Amino acid sequence: MSSPGLNLERGRPAAVSRALERAAEALLRQRHPDGFWSGELTADTTLESDYILLQLWLDPPEGGVWPARQQENPAARALVEK
């Protein structure tokens, strides 16, 4: 958050200003004519891993019995496929 009267331009090297302008122009070239950006979403395995850990924490295996295994199998398969 900037303070009132703080001039972020002052003292900035010209190369930094040019780089910022080029970056902004590159982003604007990628914008859809209707004004939005779209792109392919990619994800890592965090959601699946967290789901399995949550299930194990909520209903841990006891005596060799894994009660939530059926619910966790789809998430485990998704992890292996990624």
State the pLDDT at residue 8: 55
In a domain, 61, yes or no: yes
Is residue 1 scored above 60 in pLDDT?
no
Q: What is the pLDDT of residue 79?
A: 83
- Flag whether 18 is in a domain: no
For residue 75, give its domain range. Answer: 46-81
Residue 75 resides in a domain: yes
pLDDT in tens, 19-68: 999 999 999 999 999 999 888 766 778 888 999 999 999 989 888 888 88
What Cα–Cα distance (Å) separates residue 29 from each residue in 22, 32, 45, 53, 55? 11, 8, 31, 42, 45
Which helix (H) or strand (E) is 74 found in, with range? helix 69-81
Q: Answer yes or no: is 54 within a domain.
A: yes
What confidence category does residue 4 fall into, taking pLDDT thresholds of 50, 70 and 90? low
Total number of domains constituting the chain: 1
